[in-house]
Amino acid sequence: MRYRLSLRGAWAALLFVAFAATAAAQTGRVGGVVKDEAGQPIKGATVTAENPDASPNSFTATTDDKGRFSVIGLRQGQWTFTAQAPGFMPESGRLRVQTIGTPNPPLTFTLKKGGAGPASALGNAAAKDIQADLALAEADYNTGKFDDAITKYRAIMAKAPALSVINLQIAAAYRNKKEYDNAITAYNELLKTDPNNEKAKIGIGMTNMEKGDLAAAEETLQKAAESANPTREVFYNLGEVKFARGQAEDAAKAFQKAADMDPSWGKPVFKLALVALNKGDKDATIKMMEKVIAVDPTSQEAAQAKAVIEQLKK
């Protein structure tokens, strides 16, 4: 669901320009290894790559018997990678992915013992088999065969129940099909095994927004924002919902918190610029758009910001 602001007159035309700029369609590859604190490879670990600006915006891979993984098809931009394995605490890291032709540095995850379930929770499922199955499911997802993808994802979880994180992919497929209640059910299935999974909480909030239940969306994300360690994504998405509810000032506060948590992230700064644009404040809009370009010069938002500035200065 695209974020839309309710603008008037010429400002609406400027907003159209802001969203008209698009990034190149080339893709890149990121590989790496997942190991334990003793340096031993972790077989069957799940590595998820996420970028809310990309389409598709999520990929999943599993490690082989040497702890190696590879994610292919990533659009250029800032991606968050999360490695998880039964019996270990998850670990996340961010990487600005370059497209084919520019090598991306390998990622190394060192997972600490902890979390639910023994390391053998994958049962008899072979990591290589799971990796192959995931590749087939991802291929269906990426070509819009969402029903087939859902069937394959569920089959993978039947083989390896520990990979409950795959519910995120199932939920995403349902959202693409506009089957919002099924998507929320999938997110809740993940929360049963991982009650603190923030991605599932954000997903429930944004799915409620997509189905038109803005009150439920705000309630979910507000609770997530008031939790012990909310991330920048929680505040960003809370800002989206608050603006959709006509709460421009509260939305700006949420976007500002997201920007403060990661000063190099241009996306919330861009939304702050759009809030100023919606108010008709030309000077503040230009100032914030220039900040987007300064803090995140290679992002889609920077390209959009340049287009808006050009129009405003005519």
**Highest mean pLDDT range out of 72-76, 288-292, 297-301?**
288-292
Amino acid, res. 17 = V
- Res. 162: pLDDT tops 90: no
pLDDT at residue 23 tops 50 = no
Q: Is residue 213 predicted with pLDDT exceeding 60?
A: yes
What domains does the chain contain, in order, with CATH numbers?
A: 24-122 (2.60.40.1120)
Residue 128: predicted pLDDT: 66
pLDDT (average), residues 81-89: 87
Q: Is the pLDDT assigned to residue 293 strictly greater than 90?
A: yes
- Among the residue ranges 4-13, 53-62, 83-92, the one predicted with the least confidence is 4-13
User: Model confidence at 276, in pLDDT bands (50, 70, 90)?
Assistant: very high
Cα 8 to Cα 92, 166, 198, 252, 278, distances in angstroms = 41, 42, 35, 19, 8
- Of 39-43, 109-113, 129-133, 209-213, the poorest mean pLDDT is in 129-133
Residue 305 burial (10 A CB sphere; 0-12, 13-18, 19+): buried
Q: What is the pLDDT of residue 101?
A: 60
Residue 95 φ then ψ, to 5° = -150, 135
Lowest mean pLDDT among 105-109, 182-186, 193-197, 283-287: 193-197
Rounded to a whole number of angstroms, the CA Rg of the chain reads 20
Portion of the chain with pLDDT greater than 90, in percent? 48
| Tokens, residue 52 | 């809310």
Mean pLDDT for the chain? 84
CA–CA dist 224, 203 (Å, integer): 11
Per-residue pLDDT, 186: 96
